Amino acid sequence: MSDAPPSRIRRQIAWQAARLIHDEEVREYYPAKMKAARRVCQGWVRPWDLPTNGEIREQLLSFSRPLDRPQPGDQLLVMRLAALALMQRLSGFRPRLVGSVLAGQVHAGSDINLHLFAASLEAITSILDEDLLQYDVQKRTVHKEGQRRHYVQVQVRAAFPMEITIYPHNVANLTLKSTISGRAMERASIAELEQLLEKEYPQLDLEEELATLQESPDRFALYLALLLPLENVQQNPNQHPEGDTLYHSLQVFELACQQRPYDEEFLTAALLHDLGKAIDPEDPVTVTLEALEGFITERTAWLIENLADAHRLSDGTIGSRHRKRLASHESYEELVLLADCDRRGRRIGAEVPLPEEAVEQLRSLDEQS
């Protein structure tokens, strides 16, 4: 164990834990704290060397870039607009914005934190399902002041990750205290958030910005929503011994990543080429392109549309005129490569990413472009 004085160890652990949360390796304070302690101490950790959540929070805020005077297009503004749009969608559950987005302290790993008050979890998730949002539900119990308190957290995967904490509907008017400071938690209703936006962004047309946001759904959430049903689509075992269509699609995606990891359009075609099989197996290519219309580029659509013909090229069953037409296209080489990945993506037991990981990889490429 380190010979450094306890106060120094404590600061080191707090800094490491904050870095883990900032870099999104860990989402919550306690596991971040324990993982950081193992890194710093390389062994047993004395209880008094563990920092409080408040100490970790202070370190985390030191990584954040204060946005005192945000301009349109800033991350803070976009996150506040995204929060307001979801709050309006869930207005029946008295939503409140809390955390760093409300406080004006955000960074690359920040998420949007909302409190809702409802008697039914399903009433909320049904709206999320309707909006094609992907999410995870976790039920938690907290022991505080001799009482057990139950609540539910919903982690929404979107352009900005959102954490929704659902409390019983009958505590909406109670003052909730911060687990970090112990003081009353700062919260903003829909009306209060609108007032904040109008005050800090006087030139902003709030209605227009929200309308634009609602007209531009998260295409990656749509990808995942259309991809997941493929798990229930079984294929001809003679042609596809690997199993269901989702497993096949993820194999093709993984092989495509090995060939062109930087090419988002190519990888999107690899991952989504068989979506239509869960909608209309009689005409899967047409319905795939219809489902993705407006959400993929022309190049991605061309690759998906002509993939079957690329297999015919390999089989030698395509006419010379059609062959010349395909060969004249600027993405012909990628089409041939995609067909090769499609043929090889039929291995039993092949390692593949989770669907969520594949979609997040596409999102990451989009953010880097």
Q: What is the pLDDT of residue 343?
A: 93
Q: What is the pLDDT of residue 6?
A: 42
Mean pLDDT calculated for residue range 282-290: 90
Q: What is the pLDDT of residue 13?
A: 82
CATH number at residue 82: 3.30.460
Rounded CA gap, 74 and 51, in Å? 32
Judgement on whether residues 131 and 13 belong to the same structural domain of the protein: no
- The share of the chain scoring above pLDDT 90, in percent, equals 32
Q: What is the pLDDT of residue 135?
A: 83
Q: What is the rounded average pLDDT for all residues in the chain?
A: 82
The answer to whether residue 68 is domain-embedded is no
Geometric angle at alpha carbon 55, from 53 and 56, rounded to 5°: 65
Contact of 217 with 89, CB cutoff 8 Å: no
Q: What is the pLDDT of residue 114?
A: 94
pLDDT at 224 over 70: yes
State the maximum Cα–Cα separation within the chain, in Å, rounded to a whole number: 80
Judgement on whether residues 279 and 311 belong to the same structural domain of the protein: yes
> In the beta sheet, which residues pair with residue 112?
162
pLDDT at 171 over 60: yes
Judgement on whether residues 350 and 256 belong to the same structural domain of the protein: yes
Instruction: Among 220-224, 274-278, 308-312, name the one with the lowest average pLDDT.
Output: 220-224
Return the SS3 of 152. strand
Contact of 365 with 266, CB cutoff 8 Å: no
Which one is predicted more confidently, 44 or 329?
329
The residues, any chain, with a CB within 8 Å of residue 22's CB and separated by 6 or more, are 60, 63, 107, 108, 109
Indicate the residue among 199, 214, 229 that finishes a domain.
214
Instruction: Among 47-56, 200-209, 270-279, 280-289, name the one with the lowest average pLDDT.
Output: 47-56
Rounded CA gap, 109 and 125, in Å? 24
Judgement on whether residues 225 and 352 belong to the same structural domain of the protein: yes
The answer to whether residue 70 is domain-embedded is no
Return the SS3 of 291. helix
Q: What is the pLDDT of residue 210?
A: 82
CATH number at residue 261: 1.10.3210.10
Rounded CA gap, 30 and 175, in Å? 24
Judgement on whether residues 259 and 346 belong to the same structural domain of the protein: yes
pTM of the model: 0.52
Judgement on whether residues 183 and 245 belong to the same structural domain of the protein: no
Judgement on whether residues 240 and 210 belong to the same structural domain of the protein: no
**Residues 338-348: pLDDT tens digits?**
999 999 999 99
Q: Where are the alpha helices (DSSP H) in the chain?
A: 6-22, 29-41, 53-63, 75-89, 100-103, 121-130, 190-200, 206-215, 219-227, 245-259, 264-272, 284-291, 298-305, 307-315, 320-327, 332-344, 355-368
Contact of 135 with 228, CB cutoff 8 Å: no
Indicate the residue among 63, 90, 107 that finishes a domain.
63
Q: What is the pLDDT of residue 29?
A: 76
Q: What is the pLDDT of residue 1?
A: 37
**Residues 26-84: pLDDT tens digits?**
777 778 888 888 777 766 677 777 888 777 776 666 554 333 333 434 778 888 999 99
Return the SS3 of 117. strand
Q: What is the pLDDT of residue 144?
A: 57
pLDDT at 182 over 70: no
Q: Give the CA dihedral 276, 277, 281, 287, nearest 10 degrees.
A: 0
Judgement on whether residues 79 and 162 belong to the same structural domain of the protein: yes
Mean pLDDT calculated for residue range 259-268: 94
Contact of 231 with 244, CB cutoff 8 Å: yes
Indicate the residue among 197, 214, 231 that finishes a domain.
214
Q: What is the pLDDT of residue 143?
A: 61
The answer to whether residue 200 is domain-embedded is yes
Q: Where are the alpha helices (DSSP H) in 23-95?
A: 29-41, 53-63, 75-89
Judgement on whether residues 309 and 353 belong to the same structural domain of the protein: yes
The answer to whether residue 156 is domain-embedded is yes
The answer to whether residue 27 is domain-embedded is yes
- For the stretch 198-205, contacts whose Cβ atoms lie closer than 8 Å and that sit 24 or more positions apart, written own/partner, are 200/70, 201/70, 201/72, 201/77, 203/72, 204/72, 204/77
Phi, psi (deg, nearest 5) at residue 134: -100, 140
Q: What is the pLDDT of residue 304?
A: 97
Judgement on whether residues 189 and 321 belong to the same structural domain of the protein: no
pLDDT at 123 over 70: yes
Domain limits at 259?
219-368
**Residues 82-114: pLDDT tens digits?**
999 999 999 989 999 998 899 888 776 678 999
Q: How confident is the model at residue 206 (pLDDT cuts 50, 70, 90)?
A: confident
The answer to whether residue 1 is domain-embedded is no
Return the SS3 of 143. strand
Judgement on whether residues 193 and 279 belong to the same structural domain of the protein: no
Q: How confident is the model at residue 8 (pLDDT cuts 50, 70, 90)?
A: low
Mean pLDDT calculated for residue range 232-256: 91
Distance of CA 121 to the CA centre of its chain: 21
Judgement on whether residues 362 and 223 belong to the same structural domain of the protein: yes
Distance of CA 9 to the CA centre of its chain: 34
pLDDT at 134 over 70: yes
Instruction: Among 155-169, 215-229, 240-254, 304-318, name the one with the lowest average pLDDT.
Output: 215-229
The answer to whether residue 69 is domain-embedded is no
> In the beta sheet, which residues pair with residue 152?
139, 166
The answer to whether residue 247 is domain-embedded is yes
Return the SS3 of 90. coil
Number of structural domains the chain divides into: 3
